Structure 1
Amino acid sequence: MEYVITIGEIAKTLLSSIARLIGHLISYNTNIKNLEKELQKLVDKKATEVDPRVDEAERNLEIIAESVIRWQKEVDDINQKGKEFLENDIEVINKCLNGLCPDPKSLYSLSRKAKEMTKKVLGLLQEAAKFDEITHPGPPPKIGSTFITEGIRDFESRESIKNEVWEALKDDKLSMISICGIGGVGKTTMVKQLVQEVERQKLFDEVAMAVVSQTPNIKKIQGDIASCLSLKLDDESELTRAGKLRQRLINCGKRILLILDDVWSELDFEKIGLPSRGERKGHTIMLTSRNKDVCNKMGSEKNFPVDVLTNEEAWDLFGEMAGISIDHHLHHTATEIANECGGLPIAIVNCKGIKKQKEKHLG
């Protein structure tokens, strides 16, 4: 009788183990299918919705939110782990078909792991649903990066002036300086070279520049400066825009170089929104103008006059543009062209006489 009971208990235990195995196997299959389905949803979400938005934002020089970058990485990681896990699942199924199923404990462990991975996948899907703004505007490119100064000839007569202006920019006691000279003499070119050096050496935290011209457009000047400073100005009145710009300049706690290029007449700083002399803490305003008196009226504390090129510099520039060397045969021609151009670099570069000399020389 005891022998029969023992057999019965063994059978009962065996049937119970088989039932548990079947239960774990069913649960395992369910969890595996859920993992496959949700993982595919996540991969599709990244590939068709998030990645394209990130790519477009990067093309537009926008900054990607750190949470989005982290999310992309986590999706790639869980996708890789999920693929490896599912490949292992195929081996488990094949073994079961051959009568080599893992023990219930191992099967339960695999099933639980699949469930945990699915939970993480669902969490990433929920997080992606909250991605309203995945980027924010990046800082504007540095002004110096927009200037092409490579190949610009450095003349001795300019270098000394440029060095003096550089020293003035480093002088905290000077809040406004100016570069003066007739049109085409190279004032703006010098400013561009100085701006690139300022940015290389980080002399100022920010640099803003606006071209004023003979007929100043206050809103355009405000907009150009604001754009350099990443300040958004809506299409409001000049007065409102001036108030915002002024507050941005005096309350930011940064050293700012403000450049007003091609100034023809005295400007109303209050109307534009530029700080007064007493408010320029760490700020420097640099003007370029054809008229030194205008700069003096605006409060320039130091003026740097730029004269025309010397005869030798003009001859050398002519020869460089024409692609020829100035020997005694061409000295008279070079002198005539230099005189005709008034020693102005821009006039020499664009002189028709250079084209004729090129053709004659090449012919």
Structure 2
Amino acid sequence: MGYEFCESSLANSVGTRVVDNVLVEKKGELVRARTRLRHETDFAERQLLHIEDDVRDLQTKAVEILSNVETLEMEIQQNKRCLNWCPNWSWRYRLSKKAMKKTLDISELLEKINKFRQPGRVGYRAPNTLPTIEFLCSKEFVVSESSKIAFHQIIEALQDDNISMIGLWGMGGVGKTTLAREVGNQAEKLNLFNKVVIATVSQKPNFEAIQDQIAQYIDFDMKNERGRRSVQDLWLRLKNEQRILVILDDVWTYINLKEKIGIPTGEDHKGCKVLLTTRRQQVCLATDCQTVVQLGCLDGDEAWTLFAMKASLNGSVDDAIRKVATKIIRKCQGLPIAIVPLGSALKGKSCHEWKTAYRRLKDRRLTEIEDVNEENAYLCLEASFDYLKGMETKTCFLLCSLYPEDHEIYVEDLVRYAWGLELLRRKACQNA
């Protein structure tokens, strides 16, 4: 009888020990799976994706099960401490059954969690989280006579079913990008298109990056399980959009939109229209734009209004400053890209500083600029740079100019690097 009791006790002891070990192992798997799932949901949220309800439920269930397992482990440890003095095999058996049940629950939960291991499964992009042209539109859009004329010409062309390609050209800094975004914003509000997308082309276009910019507006991922989707895939996806306007900003040369990017126009898709901005009228002609619109500079009164707003020049401004401001505005030649930063830089400055700024503009000369009419824009930008406070700020600004146009950079890294350069400079001065 004693032998049978010992044998039974030994069997129970070994069996429960195995169950305990399996439970501990499964608990570790669940902790790691929950961590991976949290990493994936964090990444999805950074991409402005909505997390699936099933994923949220799994996360809550994982926390609940892990809490229950910890409680059960405490009971098991308490039972183990009593085994040497008062072994209660029936109690131990019940704990083993609980442990086995929790092990099965964890296995089922792990199986469900693993279904969301594939990229893109944990979240989805809701319509209201897609980027819109309105988000990009300037809140300080300055309406000039030239921009009004250009705006109405473009809107009329967008309403014409026979026009699929529109070109907006003008010298650098005149405000083409701002106007194009305003057109896109108003075209959407007027219900001319279901979707309006914008992509920056730049002088050295990266066609994959351009495709990615367009794809994000139409909730289309250019990557799949086999790698990157083809130009034809984007072309077919855009054809599914009933009415869509594609704005290609800062185009420098002719581009075959169908072969290089995957944009269907004309007979391929009458519901897709393209508005491109460029510094060169020839680009509009080479791209077969049916409507070509020129955006001119601000006239004298418009330039003064914009400059006065940026520099906070009111009716009580000192006459001496007003006279210098008039000369500076004339030097800007109606270019918003020159007026805005220079006006902001001189805001709140003394009359002496205003005069110093004008002397810099008057005496400096820049050569070898491709578009000679842009010379004054460069001069004005140079003057506004001179008013940046601190060596580290100026260094950071110059570092930004080393990056490719429209390239995303981390400002913190730039500032840290700028400080590093400044410290090296100071150390060199000390050792000199």
Which of 1 and 2 has greater Rg?
Answer: 1
Amino acid at match of 2:40: V
Amino acid at match of 2:327: E
1:10-60: per-residue Cα shift (whole Å, max 9, x none)? xx9xx9xx899969964884476246423442245237x625753774587
1:86-136: per-residue Cα shift (whole Å, max 9, x none)? 34456667888897959x5x7755543321211222444567778864557
Question: What is the CA distance between 1:325 and its match in structure 2?
Answer: 3.0
Q: Is contact 1:204–1:256 with CA below 8 Å preserved after alignment?
A: yes
Any stretches of 5+ residues in structure 1 without a counterpart?
1-11
Higher relative contact order (CA 8 A, sep 6+): 1
Looking at structure 2, the residues matched to 356 and 68 of structure 1 have their Cα atoms a distance apart, in angstroms, of: 52
Which of 284, 287, 291 in structure 1 is aligned with 2:276? 287
Q: Is contact 2:164–2:273 with CA below 8 Å preserved after alignment?
A: yes
Looking at structure 1, the residues matched to 227 and 71 of structure 2 have their Cα atoms a distance apart, in angstroms, of: 56
Q: Tell me what 2:250 maps to.
A: 262
TM-score, reference length from structure 1: 0.65
Q: Is contact 1:222–1:242 with CA below 8 Å preserved after alignment?
A: no
1:170-229: per-residue Cα shift (whole Å, max 9, x none)? 73735333333333211112224455677899954461423254xxx5xx3532331121
Looking at structure 2, the residues matched to 194 and 20 of structure 1 have their Cα atoms a distance apart, in angstroms, of: 87
Which of 195, 200, 209 in structure 2 is aligned with 1:210? 200
Looking at structure 2, the residues matched to 196 and 261 of structure 1 have their Cα atoms a distance apart, in angstroms, of: 15
Looking at structure 2, the residues matched to 320 and 60 of structure 1 have their Cα atoms a distance apart, in angstroms, of: 37
How many matched pairs? 337
Looking at structure 2, the residues matched to 59 and 291 of structure 1 have their Cα atoms a distance apart, in angstroms, of: 41
Check 1:60–1:318 CA distance in 2 against 1; reply closer, same or farther (3 A cut).
closer
Q: Tell me what 1:315 maps to.
A: 304
Q: Is contact 2:164–2:266 with CA below 8 Å preserved after alignment?
A: yes
Which of 197, 222, 229 in structure 1 is aligned with 2:207? 222
Q: Tell me what 2:66 maps to.
A: 79
Q: Is contact 1:144–1:192 with CA below 8 Å preserved after alignment?
A: yes
Question: What is the CA distance between 1:72 and its match in structure 2?
Answer: 4.2
SS in 1 for 2:271: coil
Any stretches of 5+ residues in structure 2 without a counterpart?
216-220, 355-432
Q: Tell me what 1:114 maps to.
A: 99
Q: Is contact 2:166–2:290 with CA below 8 Å preserved after alignment?
A: yes
Check 1:130–1:64 CA distance in 2 against 1; reply closer, same or farther (3 A cut).
same
Q: Is contact 1:54–1:64 with CA below 8 Å preserved after alignment?
A: no
Q: Tell me what 2:349 maps to.
A: 358
Bigger shift: residues 320-329 or 129-138: 129-138
Check 1:268–1:55 CA distance in 2 against 1; reply closer, same or farther (3 A cut).
closer
Question: What is the CA distance between 1:284 and its match in structure 2?
Answer: 1.7
Q: Is contact 1:64–1:135 with CA below 8 Å preserved after alignment?
A: no
Question: What is the CA distance between 1:344 and its match in structure 2?
Answer: 1.5
1:274-329: per-residue Cα shift (whole Å, max 9, x none)? 32411224212012234557536644444544332232221122233434336582
Looking at structure 2, the residues matched to 81 and 35 of structure 1 have their Cα atoms a distance apart, in angstroms, of: 16
SS in 2 for 1:50: helix
SS in 2 for 1:358: coil
